[in-house]
Structure 1
């Protein structure tokens, strides 16, 4: 009887090329392409609810609040910050004039009067706006000192020429250089001292609307009220420069800050 092995080997050899090929494994390119699908990804409920919350300046972001308090409540009276938009608008109208509540957007208006000590800075604070505003006020103060009359002027004769000194020398005098002796760092520091800027900020009501956390609620002056209100004054100037331009910020600096300090500017 003939063996069936050669026949089986022949059938196995003939059917081998007809076997279905194995499915290739998904490549990295295919996997990467799926990540850039145009299908709208589903969002979890916590992200959907975050979009409907109030603005950041009005409420602390929910995801930045700890689940429980780690420190005990401070002893003594609690300092309440202003939360009334009308009171804030009144302060801007006092400082910027009629329509001053419309000069800045709502978010920037609150940001300019928010100190970094308020709510641990979670709602934003005015440090960067104050940095820009301080540079603008410093520049305008330098211009004002250059144009201010000097107390000690070089003596002149009847013809307006400078008199010689004890060595017979005549100094060179020019109208553009008349205020140069008064342009010193000490003079600018005296003009922009916080003890002089704080009453101006108080005149506009910025001390009542600035949001901050004093160390002692019953001793605001000792907790740094002058520095905080002066920072809000600078921050408003910086915010006006960003949203309304440098020319408007310079004019407000001259009329609302330097003019109350005794400087005069040409129309």
Structure 2
């Protein structure tokens, strides 16, 4: 695809040059790549607002978030060289909030503070369990990130599970920052830590035991 580029000269006149967007499978050194060829998830999903639909459906009206914020939640800093809004800071907020609420849940539902070191309580917040939750909810395919090495297919070795876990933590962080601690806390207790929810972190751990 060719497109004109106008350049201003010192004489205040304009000159016309030609750029080229390269969209072929094989890279050609020196040519500008068509953004559509790389602004995709590893599963080939285009980077756009429409990709947030599955996450929006999961959240419903009760935990609704702005579309652009949802897209940020789904985007890791490795994607597009960090040129798109990414979820790192939201993930940090969400991670700390989840740890706090999980500790409260463990103490209240088990045998006091000594239960904090139990295997189940530790596994509940593990990277693999958080990643399994994201995969079960159906929005893993629209997580935007760049693989370090395409030859590594094991999600525990490729970084994929860490990316998925970060998305869940970023989602909690987004609720905390924009909807407040009350809404974020309700989400964590009802969606992630409740024994009454078959897809909760708690029940994923128990199902794998």
TM-score (norm 2): 0.67
- What is the aligned residue count? 161
Q: Could you tell me how far apart the structure 2 residues matched to 1:220 and 1:122 are?
A: 27
Per-residue CA distance 1:71-107 (angstroms, 9 max, x = gap): xxxxxxx93344353341222322x2x336x822222
- Whole-Å separation in 2 of the counterparts to 1:232 and 1:81: 16
1:232 aligns with one of 167, 171, 179: 167
Hey, what does 1:247 align to over in structure 2? 182
Q: Deviations for 1:140-160, whole angstroms, at most 9, x for unmatched residues?
A: 10011101233xxxxxxxxxx
Counterpart for residue 261 of structure 1: 201
Poorly superposed stretches of 4+, deviation over 6 Å: none
Contact 1:115 1:127 in 2 (8 A): yes
Residue 261 of structure 1, CA deviation: 2.7
TM-score (norm 1): 0.53
1:187 CA displacement? 6.1
1:99 aligned residue: 61
Which protein is richer in strand relative to its size? 2
CA offset digits 1:18-66 (Å, max 9, x no partner): xxxxxxxxxxxxxxxxxxxxxxxxxx99xxxxxxxxxxxxxxxxxxxxx
1:138–1:188: 8 Å Cα contact kept in structure 2? no
Greater C-alpha Rg = 1
1:206–1:125 CA distance, 2 compared to 1 (3 A): same
Q: In the alignment, is residue 89 of structure 1 matched against residue 53 of structure 2?
A: yes
| Gaps in structure 2 of 5+ consecutive residues | 1-6, 9-28, 32-40, 195-199, 204-209
- Decide whether aligned partners of structure 1 residues 140 and 214 sit closer, same or farther in structure 2, where only a CA change above 3 A counts: same
Whole-Å separation in 2 of the counterparts to 1:83 and 1:229: 17
RMSD: 2.9
Partner of 2:148 in structure 1?
Answer: 215
Q: Which moved more, 1:213-222 or 1:195-204?
A: 213-222
In structure 1, distance between residues paired with 2:189 and 2:47:
30
- Does the 8 Å contact 2:45/2:51 carry over to 1? no
Structure 1 CA distance, aligned partners of 2:45 and 2:162?
17
